[in-house]
Copies of this chain bind each other. A is one copy, B any other.
Amino acid sequence: MSQMRKDVFTGRWVMVADTNAVHPSSFRVKPFQRDSAFCPFCESNEASTPPEVFAIRRAGSRANGPGWSVRVVPNSHPQLGIEGDLGRQAEGIHDLMNGIGAHEIIVETPGHDRGLHELQPEEIVEVLRAYVTRITDLEQDKRMRYVLVFKNHGEGAGAHTIFHPISQLMALPVTPRNIKTKLIMARDYYRGKERCLYCDVLRQELDSNQRLVAENTDFVAFTPFASRFPFEICVLPRAHNSAFSRISASEMENLAHILRDVLQKLDSTLGQIPYNLSLQDRPFVRPRKDYWETIEADFHWHLEILPQVARITGFEWASGFFYNPVPPEIAARCLASSRAA
């Protein structure tokens, strides 16, 4: 019989199958096409993108020319515009405002063919540095409340038709619903216990050792108790910290290592599986937004990795309720025992 599990972060219930008969090979999909057509993100094609807003470059190289290792450019088809004001208004009963924000592409490497999991740890550190730099910069824009960093890998995860590995970043004038839900749950927990919810879950995951996928000095990767997706992974820093942008240099290195390790484990367990990765960070703390005044203590940033092996159906859309055919304990066992390169 399956179990119903309640996600302590969102209050969401999840049904989890009770089975030992999970064969990762049944989730294998056909390899993602590594196309060979013209790619605007490759080194030497810098003129095909809008001018860069940030890059990590070799000494002496010039902006918007070759010689970079990570490059951030505005999305040439942005879903949000950076100019103007929010223009909050009503349409009868409805609320609306202008789609003000930033939409940027973080090109993770100058080469076309290596996925994030195939980069060296020191290359991944540079991708993470680009995240921190852009978040810190966009935090200065008083219209913005949140920066969402995410990555679509592979067709089934909604990736570009171009293989070249990229992340995306959106600065938003609202705090996204999923984040707000997590903040409220974390705040309610802290009020009752005077302890961080995420710190408590981390301790329990380490004690029970049922869902651990990987760990190092600064990070723990595990499959969440109420995983919505088969082989879903959460990467949590050991040290309590609400804001990703305050990550230390040694944490950055250890994050690069565990991220590479975890993505390689996914790859060797499930083949070239599509996945979505996102940074679950706190919103910016603004004056008059005293709603989040306790956020430093309440919230604990983390990464979510969602392999896209199952189709979402009317059931999930109608209910916000997920069916996960793979118990996270089994997913963790498959992943933890898999070889990482």
Query: For the complex, is A320 an interface residue (Cβ under 8 Å from B)?
Result: yes
Pairwise interchain contact A278-B1, C-beta atoms closer than 8 A: no
Provided the pairs A158-B313, A278-B314, A314-B150 are in contact, do residues A98 and B1 lie with their beta carbons within 8 angstroms?
yes
Query: For the complex, is A253 an interface residue (Cβ under 8 Å from B)?
Result: no
A168-204 toward B: CB 8 Å interface, digit per residue (1/0)? 1010111011110100000000000000010011001
A81 to B19 Cα, complex, angstroms? 14
Whole-angstrom distance between the Cβ of A192 and the nearest chain B Cβ:
12
User: What residue of chain B has the Cβ atom nearest to residue A94's Cβ?
Assistant: B225
List A281-319 residues whose CB lies under 8 Å from chain B: 304, 306, 311-315, 317-319
Query: For the complex, is A60 an interface residue (Cβ under 8 Å from B)?
Result: no
Provided the pairs A177-B11, A204-B93, A314-B278 are in contact, do residues A319 and B148 lie with their beta carbons within 8 angstroms?
yes
Query: For the complex, is A24 an interface residue (Cβ under 8 Å from B)?
Result: no
Provided the pairs A318-B148, A318-B176 are in contact, do residues A312 and B158 lie with their beta carbons within 8 angstroms?
yes
A313 to B74 Cα, complex, angstroms? 19
Give the oligomeric copy count. 2
User: What residue of chain B has the Cβ atom nearest to residue A279's Cβ?
Assistant: B318
User: What residue of chain B has the Cβ atom nearest to residue A79's Cβ?
Assistant: B323
> In the complex, which of the residues B99, B148, B280 contacts A315, with contact meaning CB atoms closer than 8 Å?
B148
Interface of A is mostly: mixed
Pairwise interchain contact B150-A315, C-beta atoms closer than 8 A: yes
Provided the pairs A11-B177, A92-B208 are in contact, do residues A97 and B319 lie with their beta carbons within 8 angstroms?
no
Query: For the complex, is A2 an interface residue (Cβ under 8 Å from B)?
Result: yes
Whole-angstrom distance between the Cβ of A222 and the nearest chain B Cβ:
13
Residues in B with CB closer than 8 Å to A304 are 317-318
A226 to B276 Cα, complex, angstroms? 24
Residues in B with CB closer than 8 Å to A225 are 91, 94
Pairwise interchain contact B4-A314, C-beta atoms closer than 8 A: no
Some 6 contacts from A to B, beta carbons below 8 A apart, are A92-B208, A148-B315, A150-B313, A177-B321, A179-B319, A276-B317
